[in-house]
Amino acid sequence: MELQVVEQVATLGEWIAEGGVVVLSGAGLSTDSGIPDYRGPSGSARRSTPMTYQTFTRDPIARRRYWARSHLGWRTIGAAVPNDGHRAVARLQHQGVLDGIITQNVDGLHQAAGANDVVELHGNLAWITCLACGELTRREVLSDRLDEANPTFAAVAVAFNADGDAELADESLDEFTVVDCLGCGGMLKPDVVYFGETVPADRVTRSFALVENARTLLVLGSSLTVMSGRRFVLRAAKLGIRVAIVNRGVTRGEPYATLTIDAPLGIVLPHLTALPA
């Protein structure tokens, strides 16, 4: 690491050793696990418009095409494993210096790395919900059902997005068969927050409470472009709580940050766990 980054990491290590740290993670934390971010250096440009809740529920053609892309994308998201950054965050939690973890990611990799009590702002792709009866089922169950309903589906993705949505040629989408809830026949949807939906109030309330009682808000791998995550940085700055950001490239949180480190998370985070307490 460059000397400036080494000095910044040392400062961050001192803050973390004090405890009272709350992590806010974004897609950049999962890029080393093979999941692209949205806007960072490893992100791929979207060729399709992100699905909105209104379109998903009202347009059967758009819904069918979404499920075809998502079914293929799940093969990448579902097979992803935690990287050194996820494992470092889990170790910091086990060391007792983290008061909470808030994530904008929907990949479940924090928990897979051993973290617990993670606030998943936008939900988790590993779960499917029925919009009629509310039943939750594991994604693997739906994946098997979709495989059975589409035995000849052999589309190849040209790109993947952080939300598990694969980019496919249009001709690969039109013959895909969608399945409904086994219990009531209702419409199924990944248990994640779409554009046009709001983050459940209890998650927001819990996240604000964590931030407001923190000594340091540590932002990991987020450009903070959307207000869903940036609002916690704004609240911390307003309350005089330290904001430290580790991210590749610029973020919209920099004007409010006490410390900004532009360096790979897979290097910085494991180094922090090795610093003396």
Our answer to whether residue 94 is catalytic in this structure is no
Helix axes 201-212, 227-238, angle to 10 degrees: 30
H/E stretch holding 105 reads: none
Consult the annotation and say whether 231 binds a ligand.
no
3-state DSSP assignment of residue 217: strand
H/E stretch holding 166 reads: strand 166-167
Consult the annotation and say whether 133 binds a ligand.
yes
3-state DSSP assignment of residue 59: coil
**Bridge partners, 136 (sequence order):** 129
Question: What residue type is 115 in one-letter code?
Answer: A
Write the CA distances from 58 to 51, 64, 177, integer angstroms. 12, 11, 17
Torsion over CA: 102, 107, 110, 114 (sign): positive
Question: What residue type is 187 in one-letter code?
Answer: M
Contacts for 81 with CB less than 8 Å, ≥ 6 apart: 33, 109, 112
Write down the catalytic residue from 86, 110, 122, 271: 122
The long-range contacts involving 42-47, CB below 8 angstroms and separated by at least 24 positions, are: 42/248, 43/162, 44/159, 44/160, 44/161, 46/161, 46/167, 47/158, 47/159, 47/167
Tokens of 195: 């554009």
Closest CA to 186 of 126, 135, 142, 147: 135
Q: Is 253 in contact with 245 (CB distance < 8 Å)?
A: yes
Consult the annotation and say whether 259 binds a ligand.
no
Consult the annotation and say whether 121 binds a ligand.
no
Binding residues for Zn(2+): 130, 133, 181, 184
Binding residues: 130, 133, 181, 184
Which residues are known catalytic residues? Answer: 122
